[in-house]
Chains A and B, each alone.
Chain A
Amino acid sequence: MANSQLINEPLLHIQNLRISALAYPSDAAPYLVNIVDDVSFTLGKGRVLGLIGESGAGKSTIGLAAMAYGRGGVHISGGQILLNGIDISAASKKSLRKVRGMQVCYVSQSAAAGFNPAHRLIDQVIEASLLNRTASRDEALARATALFDTLGLPDPENIGQRYPHQVSGGQLQRVMTAMALCAQPDLIVFDEPTTALDVTTQIDVLAAIKRAIKKTGVAALYISHDLAVVAQVSDEIMVLRNGQCVEHGDTRSIIETPQQNYTRELVNVRSIDHQEKKPDATALLRVENVTAMYPGADVEVLQDVSVELSAGQTLAIVGESGSGKSTLARLITGLLPPTKGSVTFDGDILPPALKQRSREQLRQLQMIYQMADVAMNPRHTISTIIGRPLTYYFNLKGRARKQRVAQLLDDIEMGGGFADRYPAELSGGQKQRVCIARALAAKPRLIICDEVTSALDPLVADGILKLLLNLQQRENVAYLFITHDLATVRAIADSIAVMYQGQRVRYGPKSIVLTPPYDAYTDVLLSSVPQMKAGWLDTAIKERA
């Protein structure tokens, strides 16, 4: 960190920033809401500040404000934004155009959407440099190629000739970083750059970004909801909640000695204590040597996979995208019959197709989805959603049904007042809880949880996991827990199956699976998971080399 001290004035100085937007409730007059409330910080040249918080905390808004940009109707209603000594909070559009792309650049969350599909990558990468006249075409091209190399992209001389759709997600994210660095700005705003990537891709991109920041000495705002990731790249961290600053300090202090409760919760995320259970003699669910293909395709999505699950326990299926874990769920539920192999439930072989199964068989196996928004019919009330299985499976009607719905609402820690609401009125965590209640209503023996916490904020997800564990204790229901998040697996699993490209790579009780020696893939997977430790990234990269 060569330029760590302030020379003349800080690069970015934000003072009492307030950003507001109009909220439009459906039955009242629009009113002003503060997305960001009284936030102040200073960023020196060459320093990296991590902005961490859950969704709605305002971190992206602050990042964009550093470029005096407001997405979707938000406007800067108070405070100052001093960039290189000049207040840009009230600057004209014309002067802002000189700031953006030259002094401050932006790397967005989804590089796939952020690139224009109609132009080659290289044209888009050097565009800002050329237009702001900071370089000639040759200079810009040379700079871009050098950056591609620094960022670890394959074939740096020619990759720019490709179109966005011809390049993978992780590579696109790096190209976007190159685009931001090519203009040689003073500050880059990284807006959740690795959130959409697989964990094994993420570590490479993170390392690439860190390398590039070091080499060019650029300052950065690194925005994420994942504290472990932010801790690897940042010198300082600011914790945000509901638009306000909760805590601000250098990385080591925040991670090792957090002062505020909220920060402590974030640091200790996924530290649920769960005693691993030993498997029973007779398994509740037995999947034997299944192979599956999608109709019309000729590639095997699952190859010879076998797993077992005992009653009242949790089997975690871990894998990245393309591993086949969701396909396994579809196979077990009967949506995709296997081409080979069988599934046994409670001693009986399950008919491979959904149509062939009895209502009783269907009742005992329930499923919860990743996106609770689309898992519930927006036109049904909560009581209809939870109550339908009660009527369908147990013929409960009228008062008996109402009572049972109320009981279930209590079980998921939501009050009876929710019964008449609609899904659109609930928060993300509440929606998922309702889906859990719907699954529970059928009194199943096994619930398949398909990435149920992946779309939720870390603390909300913790709440859901704790709820699931409690319910498991009470109802003795088994979980087939599909996820890509190893921290979750560590927290709640009894046994684990690791999947890679349709095959089961590693399988067994948790304690054994998570202890070395590992096979090649599990090794890469486990070592790619960011740890809540400063300096983890550097060690991990060194070990790889």
Chain B
Amino acid sequence: MTSLFLLAAIFAPWIAPHDLGDTVGGVWEPSSSEFWLGTDNLGRDLLSRMIYGARTTIFIALMATALSFTLGSVLGLGAAVIGGWLDQVLSRFVDLLMSIPTLIFALVVLSVLPANLITLILVMGILDATRVFRLARAVAVDINVMEYVEAARLRGEGKIWIVFREILPNALTPLIAELGLRFIFQVLFLSALSFLGLGVEPPDADWGGMVKENKDGIIFGIPAALIPAAAIAILAISVNLIADWVLNRTTDLKGGRSGQ
């Protein structure tokens, strides 16, 4: 399991590319046999594209996850603790957003927005923040009704203390477990968008886009498209396993499970 983790880790910090030391956009050599993974539909070295693709894919997914997570958690915890109309308004709005399947909504919105990296990250981040909001709010509400929070309130503690010292330490565990899942989702989501032609623009490489570029070859028996697709799958699986492992470890910690 950890070897898969290493595999994913190796992919990511390869900022200094291995084979062809060119920045993306340079001219690639055609032909095949001396290139480990062969070449792609335009004759570019697949391995190098994969490495750059790793960087792009993971970078975008990380940014989007960071955005969605921060936005979702802050709003979710805030809504739970402040309550009242803020909570109602935010919850209704999130319910509304979640009534549309994410992919569809992304497609709708991306059809009118300019196609650049920032827009992409914003769209991905904001859409996914809804799920994080729901979870953060539910967790915070659960904790809010515990007697130790009431005890703090009776003492006269202000909201800031209550959020940071009482609620947050207990909310972290479920939220962090979710972080892994959100990241996987963003990777898959980004790949799907690129695959459909709406994600990263060429000649930048990201794994989803690479699948799209090479898909026509499949019918003729050329497996080029399978490689980025497989990479996505492996990344997703290994992150899943890590998230599971982290979850198991943290619930053993001191008083990890409240009320046990």
Residue of B154, B255, B259 near A379 (CB, 8 A) is: B255
| Residue in A359, A378, A389 whose beta carbon sits within 8 Å of that of B170 in the complex | A378
Neighbour of A377 across the interface among B154, B155, B170, CB < 8 A: B170
Distance (whole angstroms) from the CB of B119 to the closest CB of chain A = 40
The answer to whether A333 and B255 touch (CB under 8 A), given A371-B147, A376-B148, A424-B260, is no
B114 at the interface (CB under 8 A from A): no
Q: Which residues of chain A come closer than 8 Å to B147, judged between CB atoms?
A: 369, 371, 374-375
Report the separation of the CA atoms of residues A422 and B148 in the bound assembly, to the nearest whole angstrom: 14
Bound CA span A248–B254, Å: 41
Q: Is A276 an interface residue (CB 8 A)?
A: no
Most buried by B among A335, A362, A378, A425: A378
- Tell me, rounded to whole Å, the shortest Cβ–Cβ distance linking B77 to chain A: 16
The size of the chain A interface, using a CB distance under 8 A, is: 30
Contact: A375 with B254, CB < 8 Å?
no
Kindly state whether residue A168 has any CB partner on chain B within 8 Å: no
Whether B244 sits at the interface, judged by CB under 8 Å, is no
Report chain B residues within 8 Å CB of A363. 156
Could you tell me the distance between the alpha carbons of A425 and B146 in the complex, rounded to whole angstroms?
A: 19
Cβ contact within 8 Å between A379 and B252: no
> Contact at B148–A335, with CB atoms within 8 Å?
no
**Closest 10 pairs between A and B when the two form their complex, measured CB to CB:** A378-B255, A379-B169, A424-B255, A422-B255, A378-B258, A375-B147, A362-B156, A377-B148, A422-B254, A374-B147
Closest CB in chain A relative to B260 CB, distance in Å: 6
Distance A47 CA – B257 CA, assembled complex (angstroms): 44
Residues of A contacting B153 in the complex (Cβ-Cβ under 8 angstroms): 335, 354
Residue interface bits B131-157, CB-to-A below 8 A is 1, else 0: 000000000000000111011011111
Given contacts A362-B156, A375-B151, 19 further A-B contacts (CB under 8 A): A26-B252, A334-B154, A335-B153, A357-B156, A362-B154, A366-B154, A371-B147, A374-B148, A374-B258, A377-B165, A377-B169, A377-B170, A378-B256, A378-B257, A392-B155, A422-B255, A423-B255, A438-B151, A442-B155
Chain A residues lying within 8 Å of B156, measured Cβ to Cβ, are 354, 357, 359, 362-363, 392
Per a CB cutoff under 8 Å, which of B154, B155, B257 touches A335?
B154
A485 at the interface (CB under 8 A from B): no
Closest to A448 in B: B154
* B166 CB within 8 Å of chain A: yes
Mark B residues whose CB is within 8 Å of A.
Answer: 146-148, 150-151, 153-157, 165-166, 169-170, 252, 254-260
Q: List 28 A-B contacts (CB under 8 A).
A: A26-B252, A334-B154, A354-B153, A354-B156, A359-B156, A362-B154, A362-B156, A367-B151, A367-B154, A369-B147, A374-B148, A375-B147, A375-B148, A375-B151, A377-B148, A377-B165, A377-B166, A377-B169, A377-B170, A378-B255, A378-B258, A379-B169, A379-B255, A389-B155, A392-B156, A422-B255, A423-B255, A424-B257
Q: Which of B150, B155, B259 contacts A378 (CB 8 A)?
A: B259
A66–chain B nearest beta-carbon distance, Å:
29
Complex contact B155–A374 (CB within 8 A): no
Most buried by A among B147, B150, B165: B147
The answer to the question of A373 belonging to the interface, with a C-beta cut-off of 8 Å to chain B, is yes
Bound Cα distance A359, B157 (Å): 9
Query: Which chain B positions have C-beta within 8 A of A380?
Result: 169
A369 B151 Cβ-Cβ under 8 A:
yes
